[in-house]
Chain A
Amino acid sequence: MTKHILEMRKITKAFPGVKALSDVELSVIDGEIHGICGENGAGKSTLMKVLSGVYPYGTYEGDIVYDGEIQKFHSIPDSESKGIVIIHQELALIPYLSVAENIFLGNERRGKNGMIDWNQTNHEAMKLLKQVGLDENPITPVMQLGVGKQQLVEIAKALSKDVRLLILDEPTAALNDDDSEHLLSLLRTLKSRGITSIMISHKLNEIAEVCDRTTIIRDGHTIETLDIADEPGIQDRIIRGMVGRDLTSRYPSREHVVGEEVLRVEDWTVYHPTQPGRIVVDKASFNVRKGEVVGIAGVMGAGRTELAMSLFGRAYGRDITGSIYMHGEEIQVRDVSEAIRHGLAYATEDRKRYGLNLIDDVRRNISAAALFKLSKRGWVDQNKEIKVAEEYRGSMNIKTPTVMQTVGNLSGGNQQKVVLSKWIYSDAEVLILDEPTRGIDVGAKYEIYTIINRLVAAGKAVIIISSELPELLGTCDRIYTLAFGVVTGEVPVKDATQEKLMTLMTQEKTKDREVRA
């Protein structure tokens, strides 16, 4: 008989006005990797917060049976003392502290006199880093590491707590393919050592690749638990469970009617803002035409976001050279407001940090980039503003009771629709969308693609930056590949395959080294 390490029975968690979880069941077999799938807002994170003691015993109904006993966790240290460790989507490392300090934060290795024994700390940290396959000096400050390595430090931290059940919330959301692959294989290694994992992920291919079983949650209910091995076509099966309907296609089709050139960029070169001499974007040239969706493919750190932000009113980088042409005429873009006036728009990859004023309402976030359209001599016409916001609420299908709702309370997909509304209202001709569907559930993704189609149908030009190749293949007309700041290829979508793009995205690496060496 299989032994369950964890059973969550009839978990119900209500917040004022909303029931986030109702009678959720989750059982995890000892030693497996268990996936949890669900749309954003389905209740996955809430369930994990109940499990880890963020929501203490008594604030939810139902039982947590762990190791055959009903547990009453009152706080995170309670659950950690039993070997349950959660790694959140937003990493909880302190950038200025070293790797070793971070690993043993709150769990410091003390010597005889109560002082911290640094030799032991660093020595143990080194052993832990070896276990997660990270070759770094433990005294390196965490901020000097990339996101992928930081994720590994988080796991090393979990191992230092003698973890038995490791919970990962969207562990690969911010990672590139290499780092993701490494992380997933690390999970398998941990599994072989008897550590059970629960992995929340939107990336269904990863669930299919690494998990033994997966539980699907929708609207606060458990839908089903599937054995990955038993199901052919598992990804479509999961999607069906998540959205409660079949998505005939993940990408809506559209007619490709491409007009004349709108934007052309030539020899665009950008230097790193703080590290002198480091070239981030190297002589990049590309163009977009009316009614066209152009993709920019590149792994993390290839300079995609840096390219976009430097074009958008020099919001990134220094010593920028190169030329921008709109409709064949060269334009000067010295700051963001000039970029907006020339018809450029840039929707950031991190909408919470750079895209939205989360404490303000939907209405004012929509008008933020185009107040000049709503104002005369500096006075804002608030009634018109409300009218505009209402129009976008309707046309973009933003799910909110009123446009006076605080944006921070909306789900990821709806927040992204607010960002898009803002830029559409600014009358942009060229919209640069940086990871437009990151952290958004499948249903909302489809809506975003539909909006993109509507934009190009109306004669706009769209540039999509994405690390998800299927997304680029499904939405674009042409795809540029970017590697180490250099445009390495331009491929019409009908000739493009994931393999071909991936080759171009990694090719310059070797060439680059040869040239510079």
Chain B
Amino acid sequence: MKIDAIKNGIVLDHIKAGTGMILYQFLKLDDLDCPVALIKNASSKKLGKKDIIKIDSSEYNLDLDVIGFIDPEITVDIIKNGVLCEKRHLELPEKLTNILTCKNPRCITSVEQELPHIFHLTDRENKIYRCAYCEAKAKS
């Protein structure tokens, strides 16, 4: 299968196989007008199988926090004029805003819809995020 190389845009590489579609939805890529490719189960020396996403647009403002939250092992390649000009390595973000929603019915966010849903990373090792308001553990 051949997918054209992109000239100006972003390649999300080393996505754990099966996570590509989740990331696609979290990043709201179906809202974009530019060409977007989601490649599933590509062969990978490092992972065996991996997913890849290519976004053929230099305008797209990538939310690195979302990607870091879903899988900090993903690499972000920035392509300019057909050349890889930057490779970004991610880590779990300290703070997530409006990526997760608090499910605690006793949380203030359950009744005040306009409040941003903010979560803080409280345990990096076990990837635990807690609501900034009620400290309930995030259920992703």
Partners in one complex: no
On B, residues with C-beta under 8 Å from A are none
On A, residues with C-beta under 8 Å from B are none
